A and B are shown apart, each in its own frame.
Chain A
C-alpha cells in the first residue's frame, strides 16, 4: 500500500473526471465558452465489472444511498452508471481493484448490514474530512462520489426524490412570497 502516490496531481486523475462532468457545472458564467468540451462518454456502456465485483459495487451504492420511502441507488441504476464510468478510467480501475480486494479480505459480503456499515464508517469519516491518504479511503470516496452523481442525475433521484420542478415555461416569474 505504500507505493501509491497521493499527491494532488494523482488524486486529480482519479477524482478530476467526476468533477469535470458533474460537480459544480456552473462554476462560472462563461465556463462552457472557455473550456473545450470533454468528449462525452459513448452512450453504449461496456460491462466492466464481473458478476461478483458488480454485486459488491451494488451493495456499496445501496448502503450509501439506500431505499427509504423513495427508491435507492440500485433501483436508480447507479451500479450500471458506476460500471460505465470506471470502465473508462484506468486510474480509477486501480483504486477500485485495491478496494475490492480489501473488502474481500474482510468477508464484506458475508457481513450483516450493521457490520458492513461498521466497516465503511471510518472510511466515510476520513473521506468527509478530506483525508485521502489511505488507499481504502480513496476507494470509498470514489464510490461515494459516483453514487451521489449517479443517483442525483437519475430520473429517480432528481425528480422522484428531490422534486426538481425546473425546465418549464412560465408566463412570469413570481414575486417571492407567491411561490
Chain B
C-alpha cells in the first residue's frame, strides 16, 4: 500500500455531472481538489466512435471507444466525464411542486429546500453549460436561461398537432447542447450521434466544459484509473482515508482530504458507502438511520415505438438533428386522477442509423422489404417517464455473489411498483397511446412492460437524521466531512431528467464546502 502524504482540501470520487460541476466550482473558489475517476483519461475529440456506421464492423455493433482506447467498460470504470460523455443532454429544472410534492398530495417525501433556494444555482449552471430551449411559461417546468431552441422535426410537428387535439402540450426540448457557438465551443452540427460521445463538445460533458477549464486554476488534480473501494473513518467519525485500486497496476492506494465527496452516479455511491463498513458504522458508512440504499426511486418508463402514417412512403430525409427536439411536459397535475404525481414524454430520440425495428415488421419477401422502406421515414420512439414513490421493496444493496475483477461486490437494484405507481403507469400508457393515435401513428407494441431509467434515491436528503442520510447541503448527518452529490440524494424524483438538478445541487454544495473550508470548519 502506497501512502500519499498530501492532504487535499477535497477529494471527489467520480467525474460525471455531480463530481465535475462540484470540483470545478471548488477549484475556482480556491480549494485544493483531487478528483478520482475509476475509468481512464478520455480525449473527447479523438477517442469515441462518434461518426462510425454499423457496417464498418463485421459484428455491426459500434463499440463506444475507438480501437486501442480504453474506457466505459464497467460501472466503476467509465472514464473522465462519466456518463455526461454519453448522455442525451436533456436539461430540465424541477418545479416548486416537485420539491414539495407531499404538500400537494400527501405522498412521498419533500425536499428540505425549495425552488427559490435552487433557482440561483440553476441559473449559474445553465450559464456554464449552455442550455437551449424555449420560454414556455409553464407552472410545472420553470423556464431557465436559454439559448434559442432548435426547430422541431416534421415528425415532431405531427405529434404536436395530434397532441393539441387532446389539449396536451408539446414544447421544444431543453438540452445542454449549444444552438449557438460560444468562445470555446462550436454549435451543434446535427450529426445525430450525440449518445456516441460528442467529439466537438457542442453537447455538454463535465470533462471539457467544467474540469478542463478549471485545471488552469492550478488547484484541480484529475487522477484517472482509480477505483475507490472503501472510505475509512477515524475515531471521530470523519473520513480520513479514501482507499482505491490502481486500475492499471491493481495496486492499492490511499488519498486523503479534509472533505470527501462521493459522486459515483447513484447506485455506485450507495454501494461505496455500503462497502465502507467499520465498527463505528457496521451497516455501512453514514447509515445510523438505516436508510442507506432505501428509497430507490428510478424513473419508470413506458417505451413505445410507432409509425406516423402520414409519413409512410414519403422520401427518406435527414431528420437526425440532435436526437429529440421536442418534449411533452408534465400535464397531469391540473387533471383529476386517482394517483399522486405525474409523467412527461420524451420522444423521437431514435438515431436513423439504427433500424432494429425492422425485424418486428410482419411478413417476408418483397412486400416485407417494401414495407420497411416505406416506414423508415415514419418511425419514432415515444417514451413516458413517470415519478415513482418510495416503497420498502425498492432499494439498492450489494450482491456478494457477483464480484468484479477487483473482488468488489456489484450494486444490485431492486424495484417494485406499488398499486398507485401502477395506476399512474397505466394512465401514462393510455395517454401515450392516445397522443400517438391522435397523431395518426400506428403503434408497434401497444402494451410495453415498465422499465427503469435515471437511477435516483438511496442516500435520501432530509432534515431529520433519523429518516435521511444527508442534509440539505448533501452532507452526511453521521459523518461531518462526507458529502454525496448525485441523484441518490433526491428525496423525490419528479418525472424530469435529473442531471441539471444534480449539477445545480453540486454547485450549491461546492459553495457550502468552500465556505466551511474558509472558516476552518471542514
- Contacts A/B (CB < 8 Å), 21 sampled: A21-B61, A22-B60, A24-B357, A28-B301, A29-B87, A32-B64, A32-B86, A34-B75, A41-B58, A81-B58, A85-B59, A117-B364, A120-B364, A124-B362, A128-B363, A148-B359, A149-B356, A154-B60, A158-B355, A167-B320, A179-B154
Decide if A37 touches B72 in the complex (CB within 8 Å).
yes
Cα distance A33–B62 when bound, in Å? 15
Contact of B78 among A18, A33, A165, A166 (CB under 8 A): A33
Digitize A20-62: 1 where CB-to-B-CB distance is under 8 Å, 0 elsewhere: 0111111111111110111011111100000000000000000
For B325, list chain A residues within 8 Å (CB).
Answer: 173
Contacts of B454 in A (CB 8 A): 30
* Chain B residue with Cβ nearest A44: B58
Interface positions, chain A 54-100, Cβ under 8 Å from B, are 63-66, 68, 72, 81, 84-85
Q: Which of A27, A151, A162, A179 is B319 in contact with, Cβ under 8 Å?
A: A179
A71 to chain B, nearest CB (A): 11
**Shortest distance from the beta carbon of A155 to any chain B beta carbon, whole Å:** 4
Q: Are B88 and A30 in touch, CB under 8 angstroms?
A: yes
Of A23, A85, A117, A171, the most chain B CB neighbours within 10 A belong to: A23
- B316 near A37: Cβ-Cβ < 8 Å: no
B55 within 8 A of A: yes
Cα distance A152–B86 when bound, in Å?
24
Residues of B close to A153: CB separation below 8 A: 54-55, 60, 355
Measured between beta carbons, the chain B residues less than 8 angstroms from A28 are 301, 303, 383, 451, 453
Q: CB-CB < 8 A to B53: which residues of A?
A: 155, 158, 167
Task: Give Cα A120–Cα B150 distance, bound, in whole angstroms.
Answer: 47
> For the complex, is A9 an interface residue (Cβ under 8 Å from B)?
no
- Complex Cα gap A165–B469 (Å): 50
Partner of B58, one of A43, A148, A158: A43
Q: Chain B residue with minimal CB distance to A120?
A: B364
Give the contacts of B73-112 with A (CB-CB under 8 A). Answer: 73-75, 78, 82-83, 86-88, 90
In the bound complex, residues from chain A placing their C-beta under 8 Å from that of B358 are 148-149, 151-152
A112 to B58, CA, bound (A): 32
- Whether B369 lies near A30 (C-beta < 8 A) is no
Contact present for B355 and A26 (CB under 8 Å): no
Residues of chain B within 8 A of A179, CB atoms compared: 154, 317-319
A-B residue pairs, 4 tightest by C-beta: A33-B83, A165-B318, A23-B356, A41-B59
Which residue in A32, A65, A173 is a CB contact (below 8 Å) of B195? A32
Closest Cβ–Cβ distance, residue B407 to chain A (whole Å): 17
| B316 & A175 in contact (Cβ 8 Å cutoff) | no
- Provide the bound-state CA to CA distance between A163 and B363, in Å: 22
**A81 contacts across to B, CB distance below 8 A:** 58, 60
Establish whether residues B364 and A30, one from each chain, have CB atoms under 8 Å apart when the complex forms. Answer: no
Complex contacts, A176 vs chain B, CB 8 Å:
151-154, 157
Chain B contacts of A154 at CB under 8 A? Answer: 54-55, 60
Contact of B58 with A45 in the complex, beta carbons under 8 Å = yes
Answer yes or no: B349 CB below 8 A from chain A CBs. yes
- Beta-carbon contacts under 8 Å, B167-201 to A: 189-193, 195
- A65 / chain B contacts, CB cutoff of 8 Å: 368-369
B386 interface contact, C-beta 8 A: no
Which chain B residues lie closer than 8 Å to A40 at the CB level? 57, 59, 61, 63
- Chain B residue, CB-CB nearest to A151: B358
B contact residues around A45 at 8 Å (CB)? 58
On chain B, the residues within 8 Å of A168 by CB distance are 190-191, 318, 320
Per-residue CB contact flags for chain B residues 341-379 toward chain A (1 = under 8 Å, else 0) read 000001001111111111101111110111011001000
In the complex the two chains form, is A158's CB within 8 Å of B78's CB? no
On whether A144 and B88 interact (CB within 8 A), knowing A65-B369, A149-B359, A169-B191, the answer reads no
Chain B neighbourhood of A19, CB < 8 A:
356
**Interface residues as binary, B305-343 with A (CB distance below 8 Å gives 1, 0 otherwise):** 100000000011111110101000000000000000000
Q: Which of A24, A64, A157 contacts B356 (CB 8 A)?
A: A24
* CB neighbours of A33 from chain B (8 A): 78, 82-83, 86-87, 265
Contact B90 A166 (CB under 8 A): no
**Are B369 and A66 in contact (CB-based, < 8 A)?**
yes
Q: Provide the residues of chain B in CB contact with A72, threshold 8 Å.
A: 369
Check A173/B150 contact, CB under 8 A, given A144-B359, A153-B54. Answer: yes
Please, which residue of chain B has its CB at the minimum distance from the CB of A146?
A: B359
Using A29-B88, A32-B72 as known contacts, say yes or no to A145 and B359 having CB atoms under 8 A apart.
yes
Q: Do A162 and B318 touch (CB < 8 A)? A: no
Closest to B350 in A: A26
Does B9 lie at the interface of the complex (its beta carbon under 8 Å from any beta carbon of A)?
no
A104 CA to B362 CA, complexed, in Å: 25
Q: Quick check: is B387 within 8 A (CB to CB) of the other chain?
A: no
Complex formed: what's the CA distance from A146 to B9 in Å? 55
Minimum C-beta distance from A2 to chain B (A): 27
Nearest CB on A from B331, distance (A): 20
Residues in B whose Cβ lies below 8 Å from that of A149? 60, 356, 358-359
A24 → chain B closest CB, angstroms: 5
Q: How far is the CB of A20 from chain B (nearest CB, A)?
A: 9
